[in-house]
Chains A and B, each alone.
Chain A
Amino acid sequence: MMEFFNEYLIVLIALLISIAMAIIRVIKGPTAPDRIVGLDTINTIVIVGMVVFGTAFNEIIYIDVAIVYALLSFISTLFIAKYLEGGDF
């Protein structure tokens, strides 16, 4: 079964390159919003990566984890944005 899904492992490596570029932006970013943009992009790519990982190793449970991760990371992004904006919660 593993050999059949091997193309998804190549996709995972390509997604890692994309995450590496976003991490460079998180480290370099001159202002705080720049860093959040990098983190938001990493979140989206990690969701896709979990779906691909679950498909590659035939473990369906990773896809449920991806759904929950999507919703939680969205809430954390909103919270950080609200904190930067200032004012009342």
Chain B
Amino acid sequence: MIAFIITTILCFITYLILTTGSGTVGLWSIEEILLGLILSLIAGFVTRNVFIKKDLRMLNPIRWLIFVGYVVGPFFIGMAKANFDVAYRVITGKINPGIVKISPNLKTDLGITLLANSITLTPGTLSVDIDEETNDLYIHWINVKENTLKGDFVDCKYICGSFDKWIRRIAE
């Protein structure tokens, strides 16, 4: 039941965003609001078992606040650094690539997805593959530092920086 309500509300918000500026009630017309309500009830009923599983910890609004802080703060700074790094390598052509393996110790699917996307958009790294059983990530690193290659795994702090701590706070 609670999954049905949450899915319906999310569908309704998406519909309202896509039909902005259609009338005079706020930014919407009364027909769009009624039609959106009916459609989101149908969509929420059909997909109530698909979108939300038993895990309800993302309903906590504090996690969403931390997520917004993460995107605006460390993530955006990391992305700006990444682009100047790529610009430097495009112009000079100095690369030293390799595929390494890290073990971030995250358990939930949402956490590992967020970490893989963050790694792809930040300095010199690109996630290539994942080991589904142990949640290890394989990373293509454009500038491998030789002194980090001891044993099977590379230490997480050389690649993620502080991202894994933030994501543990958001999704675990």
Contacts and interface: CB of A to CB of B under 8 A. Distances in A.
Contacts of B21: 60
A34 interface: no
Contacts of A64: 18
3 contacts: A60-B21, A64-B18, A67-B18
Interface string B105-121: 00000000000000000
Interface of B: 18, 21
Contacts of A67: 18
A67 B18 CA distance: 10
Interface string A11-52: 000000000000000000000000000000000000000000
Interface string A53-89: 0000000100010010000000000000000000000
B130 to A, nearest CB: 14
A5 to B, nearest CB: 19
A74 B17 CA distance: 21
A64 B18 CA distance: 8
Nearest to A60: B21
Nearest to B19: A64
Nearest to A64: B18
Contacts of A60: 21
A61 B117 CA distance: 30
Nearest to B17: A67
Contacts of B18: 64, 67
B17 to A, nearest CB: 10
A60 B19 CA distance: 12
A25 to B, nearest CB: 14
Interface pairs A-B: 3 shortest CB-CB: A64-B18, A67-B18, A60-B21
A60 B20 CA distance: 11
A60 B18 CA distance: 12
B20 to A, nearest CB: 10
Nearest to A68: B18
A66 to B, nearest CB: 12
A68 B21 CA distance: 18
A67 B21 CA distance: 17
A85 to B, nearest CB: 11
